[in-house]
Amino acid sequence: MKALCLHGKHDIRFEDIAEPQIEHDNDIKIKIKAAGICGSDIHRYAQLGPYVKGMTWGHEFAGQIVAVGKAVKHYKKGQKVTACPALYCGICDSCKKGKYAQCEKLSVIGAYRQGAFAEYIVLPEENVVALSDTVAYDEAAIIEPSCVAVHGLYNAGGIQAGDVVCCTRVWNSGGYGTAMGNNIRSKTGNSYRYKSSSFANCT
């Protein structure tokens, strides 16, 4: 299959790689329909973030299930899905506390394992998230970074409707945080501007 692979600083190649196959009973194979470019992808492109040489990068995506392992219970072929890009062990102390992002064996697609800038990807059932048929693939591809912003707002605690908040930009998530926090419509332009808040140069 075709994939976009990172071989070094500013060295990305559109090339043929082996198509992933279902290897475990809980695996789900997904046809990629849309993918987003994260700030961390840009960092990896400049060799400022973790990656394995030659790895297919990208972790924000949406697609359609084309095959499932025999133990998969909640998904079926043809279903529209997205996924959590973080792969965790589920048995370490952090995982047992529900802090999966702090897993001792944490891996991430697009950095240490084949990512979403490809035709297909295979992930465990627990990482896959079902989507409504009314959600467009390109919209669904940015659910993951939107979740980062929502998670931050929930963890901030005590925020009520009408409160004034400051979202410090971290990669793209500051922009998402402002949008989620204020729930207002963006105007056109190179920088997003909001009626009740101001920030600039969000990419």
Work out the pLDDT band at 134, boundaries 50, 70, 90.
very high
CATH number of 2-141: 3.90.180.10
**Residue 127's Cα: distance from chain center in Å?**
11
Does the structure show a pLDDT above 70 at 167? no
Where is pLDDT greater, at 189 or 137? 137
The pLDDT assigned to 192 comes to: 42
- Within the chain, all domains assigned CATH 3.90.180.10 are found at 2-141
Amino acid (one-letter) located at 70: K
Distance between first and last Cα of the chain: 30
DSSP 125: G
Ranking 87-91, 100-104, 177-181 by mean pLDDT, the lowest is: 177-181
Alpha-carbon span 74 to 130, nearest angstrom: 9
Count the Cβ atoms, other than its own, within 10 Å of residue 103: 18
The pLDDT of 44-56, averaged and rounded, is 83
b/e per residue 19-34 (b: at least 16 CB within 10 A): ebebeeebbbbbebbb
Higher per-residue pLDDT: 192 or 167: 167
Name beta bridge partners: 11. Answer: 8
